[in-house]
Structure 1
Amino acid sequence: MRIIRYIGDDGAARLAAVTDEEQAFPLRSPDFMALVREADEAGITPLEAVRRQIAGAQPLPGDWRELNLLTPVDAPEVWAAGVTYERSKEARNEESKGAATGDETFYDKVYRAERPEIFFKSTSARTARPGTPVCIRSDSDWQVPEPELGIVLDRGGRILGYTVGNDMSCRDIEGENPLYLPQAKIWRRSCSIGPAIRLAETVPNPYDLTITCRIYRDGQLAVNESANTGQLRRKLDELASFLVRDNVVFDGTVLLTGTCIVPPDRFTLQPGDRIEIDISGIGTLINPVAAADAAIQD
C-alpha cells in the first residue's frame, strides 16, 4: 500500500491510498503524519488504518499518476547519508583525485567507520514535488542527480515508510574541497521526493529494491543505470539512529540513504533534461531540469 498527496479540484491538499492494482482511494486523513497518529491512537498499524478508511470506497477516476501530485509528506526537513555504497566511495575519490595517490582517503575511512556521514539536505520550501523542475547551480560545471531510497521517520526515528529521493549534487564543488559540501548539496530545488510513500509494513525486505535512473536529453535516453539496495553497506535503522541521536527530529522527516548510481564520463545535467528515478514497489519520481536562476513557479 502506498500513500500519495495531491491537489484536489478545490485547490486543497488531499491524501489517497494506492493499491498494488494501481487504484487510488481517497483518505479522510488530512496528511500522512495525521494518518500515522490516528493509527497509533487506535492501537493499529497505518496499513490497517488505511484499509478501514478505504473499505467500500470508490476509487478516484483515471490514473493516479496524472493527478497534480505533491510531495507525499510535507517533510519539514530532508537529511541525507553519504558514502553508504562502495560505488559512492569510489566516485567521491575520483572527483577529489584521492584515488590517484593510492593513500587511504577520508571517504575510505567514513565508508568503513562506525559513524556514518549524515548531512542536512533540504527543507520543504527547497524541495521540488513530482513533475516540477529540480535546479542546477550557476557556478558548477559537473552536476548529477543522486537516486536514493528515502526513509520517512517520526520524531523518534521510527521508519514509517519508504519513498524515492533525488539528492542533487555538484561533483566539482565537493571534489574541490569537502568543506564545500553544503554548497555542493544545498540550493534552490536541489532535492525532490515522491511520488508516493510505501508503508513500511508492506515492504518485506527493503534491502532488495531495484533503483533505476534514466535521464533524457532532447527526447533521447542519455543515461540508464540500475542498482539494488542490497549493495547498501549500512542498515536503515542504524542511519536513523544516528540522525536522532541528541538531535531534534520532526515528524515526517525524510532521510535519504545514499546512492550507488553515478552517471558516467563526467556527464553533467543541462536545463531541459528529464530525470526519472524508479524504485521497485514505490513508483517513478519524474522531474525536468532547470537553471537555479530561472523564474520557477510551482
Structure 2
Amino acid sequence: MSIIAPEDHSGTWLGRVWNPVANGPAVVTLRDGQVVDITSRAAPTSRDICELDDPAAHVRAANGVALGTLEEVAAARVGDMSVVHFLAPCDLQSVKACGVTFARSMVERVIEEKAAGDPARALEIRERIGATIGASLRDIRAGSPEAAEVKRALIAEGLWSQYLEVGIGPDAEVFSKAQILSSMGTGADVGLHPVSRWNNPEPEVVLAVTSKGQIVGACLGNDVNLRDVEGRSALLLSKAKDNNASCAIGPMIRLFDADFGIDQVRQAELTLRVEGEDGFVLDGHSSMKEISRDPTELVSQTIGRHHQYPDGFLLFLGTLFAPTQDRDHPGEGFTHKVGDRVTISAPGFGSLENVVRLSTECDEWTFGTSHLMRNLASRGLL
C-alpha cells in the first residue's frame, strides 16, 4: 500500500528524510510521485517552513532535487544511514498530545483506572458501569452546565474519575508526548516499555501549529499507550507515554491550502489495522466527527499567554479507538505483541506504518538538537 494515495499527490506535502549525501536530514515535498529535497538556507527545517506566512506557497515554489520515487523512499529500511528513508515530518517543534477527547474512549479510560491496570478486572467493570457512563456522556459538551450536572450525579454514585474531569470538565488534558527530534516516521519500529503487559496503539490526527497558534497542516500519529502503567497511577503518565520510539508521526504533513484545511480534519475517518506475527488481526476506527472538543479549542488550550512555543508544536488530538477485542484469553482484551505491524490511514492524510518492538530493542535515539544544528552548520544552512 502506498503511504500517500495517487489521488492525493496533488496535495501540498511537507516531510523529512535522512539524506546520506548530507549525512543528515532533508526537508522534502512530493512532486509527480518524486520525493524532492527542498532544504534551503532560507528554510532549513520543517519548523522554519511552518513558521512562514504561507508554508504551502513556499513548498510549491521551492527549488528542489529529486531523491527518489515515493515508493522507493517508503520501501527503504529505516535506520540504514546509507539510503534515503523517511523520518518524522517534524524537527524543532514540541510534540504535545491531548487525551480523553472522545466520549467512548473516555469510558475505557475510566474503566482502565478503576481496574488499576488489570485487564481481567476491566471486563467486569466494563459490563457493570461502561454502558451507563457512555450513555450519559455521548452528547455532553465539555465544560457546559449540563456537564457539571452529570459530574454531580456521577460523584453521588461513586463513579467520578480524573478522566471524566478532563473529558467533560472545562480543562482539556494536554501533555508532552515526546522529546524534540525523538519521534519516529513511517516504516520505523515503535517501542513498548518492557514493564508493560497491557498496551495498545492510538490512531490520531496530529496538527502542525505555529508559534503564533496558527494551524498550518495535519498528519497522522500513533500515540503508543501503556494501559497498565497509566491505569496504576496518573502520576505514571510520562512513563506510559514517553519512551524510546514510543511516538510515531507521518507519513508527511499535509499543509493547509485551498483544497485541504481544518474542515477536512473535522471530517477525518481513521482506520487502524494491527497484524500480528501470530496471525491475529485487529481492525479499528476513529471518527473525528465524534470528538468532544473542537480541534481549534484544543489548540487554544495548549498555546496562549499561559504557554508559548517559540518553535511551534505538533498536537495529537486523541482517539475514539479503545480496543476490547480479546487476543489470547477471554476477558483479557487486546495487547500488543512484539512484531505487530500497525497501519493507520485516512483519506487525504496517507498511511503511517510501524512495527512494534520493545523500547529497549529499538535503535537508541542519538540525533538530538545539538547534532541537527552542527549538521546544518556544516552544510552552510545556518
Which TM-score bucket, shorter chain as reference?
0.7 to 0.9
1:282 aligned partner: 349
Is 1:93–2:113 an aligned residue pair?
no
Is 1:26–2:37 an aligned residue pair?
yes
Runs of 4+ in 1 over 3 A off after TM superposition: 21-26, 57-61, 98-102
1:184 is paired with a residue whose SS is helix
Deviation at 1:92, TM superposition (A): 0.4
Unaligned runs of 5+ in 2: 1-11, 76-83, 116-124, 130-156, 327-332, 366-382
Assess if the C-alpha contact under 8 Å between 1:74 and 1:252 holds in 2: no
Deviation at 1:190, TM superposition (A): 1.5
Assess if the C-alpha contact under 8 Å between 1:75 and 1:254 holds in 2: no
Which residue of the other structure, out of 10, 23, 29, is the alignment partner of 1:17? 29
Is 1:84–2:101 an aligned residue pair?
yes
1:216 aligned partner: 275
Is 1:159–2:215 an aligned residue pair?
yes
The verdict on how the C-alpha distance between 1:61 and 1:133 changes in structure 2, with shifts beyond 3 A counting, is: closer
The verdict on how the C-alpha distance between 1:65 and 1:177 changes in structure 2, with shifts beyond 3 A counting, is: same
Assess if the C-alpha contact under 8 Å between 1:149 and 1:279 holds in 2: no
2:49 aligned partner: 35
The verdict on how the C-alpha distance between 1:250 and 1:291 changes in structure 2, with shifts beyond 3 A counting, is: same
The verdict on how the C-alpha distance between 1:58 and 1:77 changes in structure 2, with shifts beyond 3 A counting, is: closer
2:178 aligned partner: 122
Between 94-103 and 287-296, report the one with greater CA deviation. Answer: 94-103
2:260 aligned partner: 203
CA distance in 1, matches of 2:363, 2:318: 27
CA distance in 1, matches of 2:169, 2:59: 40
2:191 aligned partner: 135
Deviation at 1:154, TM superposition (A): 1.4
CA distance in 2, matches of 1:293, 1:144: 17
Which is strand-richer, 1 or 2? Answer: 1
TM (norm. structure 2) is: 0.70
Deviations 1:249-280 (A, max 9, x none): 14241111101112223211111111111132
The verdict on how the C-alpha distance between 1:280 and 1:220 changes in structure 2, with shifts beyond 3 A counting, is: farther
1:4 aligned partner: 15
CA distance in 1, matches of 2:35, 2:244: 31
Deviation at 1:80, TM superposition (A): 0.7
The verdict on how the C-alpha distance between 1:58 and 1:168 changes in structure 2, with shifts beyond 3 A counting, is: closer
Paired letter, 1:217: G
The verdict on how the C-alpha distance between 1:176 and 1:36 changes in structure 2, with shifts beyond 3 A counting, is: closer
Paired letter, 2:30: V
The verdict on how the C-alpha distance between 1:139 and 1:74 changes in structure 2, with shifts beyond 3 A counting, is: same
Assess if the C-alpha contact under 8 Å between 2:275 and 2:281 holds in 1: yes
CA distance in 1, matches of 2:161, 2:65: 57
Is 1:112–2:168 an aligned residue pair?
yes
Assess if the C-alpha contact under 8 Å between 1:2 and 1:282 holds in 2: no
Deviations 1:95-132 (A, max 9, x none): 12376466233322322222111111111354223222
1:242 aligned partner: 301
Is 1:267–2:334 an aligned residue pair?
yes
Paired letter, 1:263: P
TM (norm. structure 1) is: 0.88
Deviation at 1:65, TM superposition (A): 2.7
CA distance in 2, matches of 1:36, 1:120: 20
Larger Rg: 2
| Number of aligned residues | 290
The verdict on how the C-alpha distance between 1:48 and 1:77 changes in structure 2, with shifts beyond 3 A counting, is: closer
1:47 aligned partner: 56
Task: Give the RMSD, CA atoms, in angstroms.
Answer: 2.3
CA distance in 1, matches of 2:45, 2:242: 26
The verdict on how the C-alpha distance between 1:180 and 1:297 changes in structure 2, with shifts beyond 3 A counting, is: closer
CA distance in 2, matches of 1:293, 1:177: 23
